[in-house]
Structure 1
Amino acid sequence: MGTAGSAVVFAGLTVVVALSDLSVIGIHSLISRGLAFAVTVAVVIALTLLPAMLGFAGMRIMKYKLLTRRMKALERGEGQALGVRWAQFVTRNPVKVHAVSEAGLTLLALPATSLRLAPCPTTPGVHQAAPSASPTTPSAKASDRASAAH
């Protein structure tokens, strides 16, 4: 199996395992057997039917090339691809690229500065117990099952 095929299988199996785990701990509102089956069918189709159809189509699938002016110039050997130009820019200006990247990540993280969390009941100076979840919620049931198993 080629690289793309193994990637499809790995991604599909990851989703199926995650969905199965949700059903094991009892969160049925997030899982249905049909969804896991649909993922499995999609992986099988991606590995069998799609390559078969592409093989059947052969070179006819390449009949209508949609080329932009830039792509035509690259085919003639003029200019460079975007990835090459971007790599050259980054290697010529590493400090500037790093500074802009840091600034962008800082801007993305700014909303977290106003995040307010509830105090932990074991924090010194806090004498009230944290509100507990209702014992009927799926998360409380899953927590109870997990602690009972250990």
Structure 2
Amino acid sequence: RIDVHRKENAGAAEKAISIHSSPEGCSAACRMILDIMHKEAKDTKAADEVPLKILAHNNFVGRLIGKEGRNLKKVEQDTETKITISSLQELTLYNPERTITVRGCPESCCRAEQEIMKKVREAYENDVAAMS
């Protein structure tokens, strides 16, 4: 299931999309959406590059980055992408999520999304296991 959040930030250029599926289903949907966005950007000559933006709860971002940024650097090298993460200053009580921006060709962005989400899921599962 894919939900496009149209009501939140109604006038904003960017719209969040929630994808509810298996990890493979989420990655496949992400790939299809990226392909459509790249095609539209190319057809309208709006942008050379359409970055992939992933929202992740701040609790998981540290483990995604890793000590001295090693995990993130490895994902960048393995997928030939440039990944940036929004600063802690942008967090609020009502928005505990950080924006992970992935830049590269659609294929590379999709590979990076798979790696990033694998690490975020592992962090989530470890937290759930620690609570039980």
TM-score, normalised with respect to structure 2: 0.32
Largest Rg, 1 or 2: 1
Question: Where is the helix percentage greater, Structure 1 or Structure 2?
Answer: 1
Question: Where is the strand percentage greater, Structure 1 or Structure 2?
Answer: 2
